[in-house]
């Protein structure tokens, strides 16, 4: 990982490298804590309004989205002012460290509006090659998934545990998730349905929580289309650290968004990718 100019001079010893890593981790945790405090007062509040960002369809944004992103950006302004920021609501802010924090204050705003606890806060630390650390946080149920910077960890109301993806199994025994039944274009939906016809169980509507379930070893696959960078940077880091694989539908890098497949292991990734390609 590239190191910012302010930290490069102190990165020559193991102790300074550990301190640098801990600073990055502490910054991410502080951002997640602030986002929890900003989102929870709005969740399941009667009369919560949402603006529609989409020219067609429904792409909502709420006061909670704006408050959470502002709170996370404030943490970065205090702790890491030389880092760049890419946020869903606030756009891109340049930096000079070579590092970018990619944040989604509420991934799953539709679920947030509906009162379901499947939305989450996404925080990633990336460099020019892609995500290096990710955090998926679900404030309402108090679960947090971290991956990268030497970590692969779950924290929740019942304690902590290491994250590890599922071992290989036949596609016919796999569990597959996607957020929307009407995934992407007609061609993308046809490809997804071809794959769905090969697995044991297909479920819908989990937003970023589905990616957390891959990292936690609960499910095998997430397949989606039409994603943005802020949707996928954090899941890539968390799943990869837990032993999984995240690519686009051609097997290439997925951190630009678009069509994404997240898999528990290389074997089931290859099997699922073959169906998406053939369709």
Output the pLDDT for position 12: 59
- pLDDT range class, residue 120, cuts 50, 70, 90: very high
Q: To 5 degrees, how large is the angle CA 214–CA 217–CA 223? A: 25
| 80 & 104 share domain | yes
With contact defined as beta carbons under 8 Å apart, do 155 and 141 qualify?
no
pLDDT for 269 equals 98
Structure tokens at 8: 């490069």
- Residue that the structure tokens 């924290």 belong to: 155
- The residue segments making up the domain with residue 194 are 171-278
Q: pLDDT tens, 43-88?
A: 999 878 888 877 677 778 999 999 999 999 999 999 999 999 999 9
pLDDT at 4: 42
Structure-block tokens of residue 152? 């692969």
Pairing of strands 91-93, 84-87: antiparallel
Tell me the sheet residues that pair with 152.
147
pTM of the predicted model, to two decimals?
A: 0.93
Catalogue the E-assigned strands of the chain. 50-52, 60-62, 84-87, 91-93, 100-107, 120-127, 130-138, 143-148, 151-156, 159-162, 175-178, 201-204, 221-227, 245-247, 258-263
Higher-scoring residue by pLDDT: 50, 151: 151
Please report whether residue 154 resides in a domain. yes
Say which DSSP state 236 is in.
Answer: H
Q: What is the pLDDT of residues 204-259, one digit of tens each?
A: 999 999 999 999 999 999 999 999 999 999 999 999 999 999 999 999 999 999 99
Distance CA 102, CA 84 (A): 9
In a domain, 70, yes or no: yes
Of 110, 127, 161, the position where a domain reaches its end is 161
Q: Are both 152 and 260 inside the same structural domain?
A: no
- Kindly state whether residue 166 falls inside one of the protein's structural domains: no
Q: 3-state class of 113 per DSSP?
A: helix
Is 263 exposed, middle or buried, given 0-12, 13-18 or 19+ CB atoms closer than 10 A?
Answer: buried
Q: What CATH number should be reported for the domain holding residue 191?
A: 3.40.190.80
Q: Any idea what the CATH number is for the domain that residue 156 is in?
A: 3.30.540.10
């Amino acid at each position: 990982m590239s190191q910012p100019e302010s930290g490069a001079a102190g990165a020559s010893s193991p102790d300074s490298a550990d301190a640098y890593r801990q600073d990055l981790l502490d910054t991410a945790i502080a951002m997640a804590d602030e986002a929890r405090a900003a989102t929870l007062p709005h969740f399941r509040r009667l009369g919560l309004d949402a603006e529609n960002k989409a020219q067609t369809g429904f792409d909502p944004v709420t006061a909670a989205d704006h408050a959470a992103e502002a709170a996370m950006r404030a943490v970065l302004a205090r702790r890491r002012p030389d880092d760049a920021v890419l946020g869903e609501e606030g756009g891109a802010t340049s930096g000079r460290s070579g590092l970018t924090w990619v944040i989604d204050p509420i991934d799953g705003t539709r679920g947030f509006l509906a009162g379901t606890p499947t939305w989450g806060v996404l925080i990633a630390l990336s460099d020019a090659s892609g995500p290096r650390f990710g955090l998926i946080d679900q404030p309402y149920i108090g679960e947090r998934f971290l991956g990268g910077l030497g970590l692969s960890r779950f924290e929740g109301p019942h304690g902590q545990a290491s994250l590890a993806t599922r071992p290989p199994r036949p596609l016919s025994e796999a569990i597959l998730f996607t957020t929307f039944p009407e995934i992407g274009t007609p061609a993308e939906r046809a490809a997804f349905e071809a794959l769905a016809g090969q697995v044991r169980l297909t479920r819908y509507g989990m937003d970023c929580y589905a990616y957390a379930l891959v990292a936690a070893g609960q499910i095998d696959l997430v397949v989606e289309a039409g994603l943005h960078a802020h949707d996928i940077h954090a899941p890539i880091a968390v799943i990869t650290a837990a032993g999984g694989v995240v690519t686009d539908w051609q097997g290439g890098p997925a951190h630009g968004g678009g069509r994404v497949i997240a898999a528990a292991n290389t074997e089931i990734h290859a099997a699922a990718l073959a169906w998406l390609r053939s369709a």
